[in-house]
Amino acid sequence: MSIIVHHLNESRSQRVLFLLEELGVPYEIKFYQRDPKTMLAPPELKAVHPLGKSPVVVDDGTVLAETGLIVDTLIERHGGQGSLRPQAGSADRLLYDYYLHYAEGSLMPLVLLSLIFMRVPRETPGLVRPVAKLISAGVMSKFVGPNVKNNLDYLEAQLSGRPWFAGEVLTGADAMMSFPIQALNARGGLADRPNLRGWLQRLEARPAWQRAIAKGGELTFSFG
C-alpha cells in the first residue's frame, strides 16, 4: 500500500504531512511550486485532480481531494483503534467533526479574504490604486477584520477548558485547524490570546510537526 502526497509549497497540504507523521505511516511527497508572481499552483497539478489544487493524496490508487476528507479518510484507513479521532458517539467526536469542517468552512475563507484584499492594491494599476486601497481598507475594517476577531475570540474561549480542539488529546481536528491559525498568527492575530498561543506552541513542538516541516518546507506566509 502506498501513499503519495501532492504537496504545494506554502500551502494547506502541510497539514496532511503533519497528520501522516503523527500516524507514523510511510508516504512519498511530490513537490510543486507556486508561481512566484501570481502565487497560484502550477498547471501540472491538474493532471492529478481536475481542479489543480493542493493537497491531493493518492492512497493505494484512490485520489483524495479536500483536506477534511483527506484527514478523516487517512485516519479511518491508517489510524488504528482510536488514533487521532475520538470514539464515535462521544462528545469529543462531535467536537472533532465540528472543527474538521469549521477549519475550511468558517475560518479559512476569512484568511483567504484577508490575503486577497491585502494584495488587491499591489495588483491594481497605478492610476486606480488609491481607489483600490480605499476599497480594500473598507472591506478589511468593516467586514473581514471584525469577523476574524469574532472567530478568534470564539476559539480562545473554546480552548479555555481543554488543551486541544477536540478534548484532552491531539486529533485530526488540530491538524485541520493548524494552517488558518498559523496564518492569522503570522499577522499578529494571537497577540492577546494566550490559549490559542499555547495550543499553537504545543502543536509546533511536536516531533511530528518538526518532521513535517523538515520534509515539506517552512510555512512563512509571505505570499500575502
* pLDDT band with cut points at 50, 70 and 90 for residue 38: confident
pLDDT score recorded for residue 54: 92
H/E stretch holding 7 reads strand 3-8
| 74 and 99 assigned to the same domain | no
Q: Are residues 69 and 95 in the same domain?
A: no
Query: Strand order of the sheet with strand 56-59?
Result: 28-32, 3-8, 56-59, 62-65
**Is residue 223 helix, strand or coil?**
coil
Same domain, 73 and 167: no
**186 occurs within a structural domain:** yes
Look at residue 10 in the predicted model and tell me its pLDDT: 87
C-alpha cell at 86: 475520538
Among 78, 111, 128, identify where a domain stops: 78
72 and 18 in a single domain? The answer is yes
Work out the average pLDDT over 22-29.
96
Average pLDDT, the chain: 92
pLDDT at residue 112, rounded to an integer:
87
Give per-residue pLDDT as tens, 166-217: 999 999 999 999 999 999 999 899 999 999 999 999 999 999 999 999 999 9
Q: Is residue 219 part of a domain?
A: no
User: Where is pLDDT greater, at 221 or 30?
Assistant: 30
Mean pLDDT of all residues in 127-143: 78
Q: What is the pLDDT of residue 1?
A: 54
CATH number, domain containing residue 62:
3.40.30.10
* Of the candidate ranges 64-73, 109-118, 207-216, the one whose mean pLDDT is the lowest: 109-118
Number of domains in the chain: 2
pLDDT above 70 (res 88): yes
Asked if 97 and 70 sit in the same domain, the reply is no
Do 62 and 162 belong to one domain? no
Note the pLDDT of residue 26.
96
Q: List beta partners, residue 125.
A: none
What is the pLDDT averaged over residues 21-26? Answer: 96
The pLDDT score that the predictor gives to residue 81 is: 67
Alpha carbon dihedral 133, 187, 20, 43, in 10-degree steps, equals 20
Q: Do 101 and 156 sit in the same domain of this protein?
A: yes
- Distances from the Cα of 51 to the Cα of 56, 63, 66, angstroms: 10, 12, 11
Domain assignment present for residue 218? The answer is no
The answer to whether residue 224 is domain-embedded is no
Instruction: Quote the pLDDT of residue 130.
Output: 80
For the question of whether the overall pTM of this predicted structure is more than 0.95, the answer is: no
What is the domain range of residue 67? 3-78
Give the percent of the chain with pLDDT over 70: 97
In the block, residue with C-alpha cell 477536540: 166
Asked if 196 and 155 touch (Cβ cutoff 8 Å), the reply is: yes
User: Would the pLDDT of 224 be above 70?
Assistant: no
Q: What is the mean pLDDT of residues 72-84?
A: 88
Indicate if 176 and 114 belong to the same structural domain: yes
Among 181, 15, 159, residue whose Cα is nearest residue 84: 15
**Predicted local distance difference test score (pLDDT) of residue 168:** 97
Q: Are residue 40 and residue 132 in the same domain, yes or no?
A: no
Cα three-residue angle 77-21-14, rounded to 5 degrees: 100
Mean pLDDT in residue range 62-84: 92
Where residue 159 sits, what CATH number does that domain have? 1.20.1050.10
Q: Which residues contact 95 (CB under 8 A, 6 or more apart)?
A: 86, 165, 166, 167, 173
Polymer length in residues for the chain: 224
User: Above 60 in pLDDT, residue 108?
Assistant: yes
158 with 186, same domain: the answer is yes
Query: Is residue 111 classed as helix, strand or coil in its secondary structure?
Result: helix
The secondary structure of 28-93 as a DSSP string is EEEEE---TTT-PPPGGGGGTSTT--S-EEEETTEEEESHHHHHHHHHHHHS-SSTTSPPTTSHHH
- Say if 217 falls within a structural domain: no
In a domain, 44, yes or no: yes
In a domain, 130, yes or no: yes
Residues 102 and 174 in one domain: yes
* 59-63, 132-136, 173-177, range with the lowest pLDDT: 132-136
213 lies in a domain? Answer: no
d(C-alpha 61, C-alpha 38), whole Å: 31
Whether 165 and 101 map to the same domain: the answer is yes
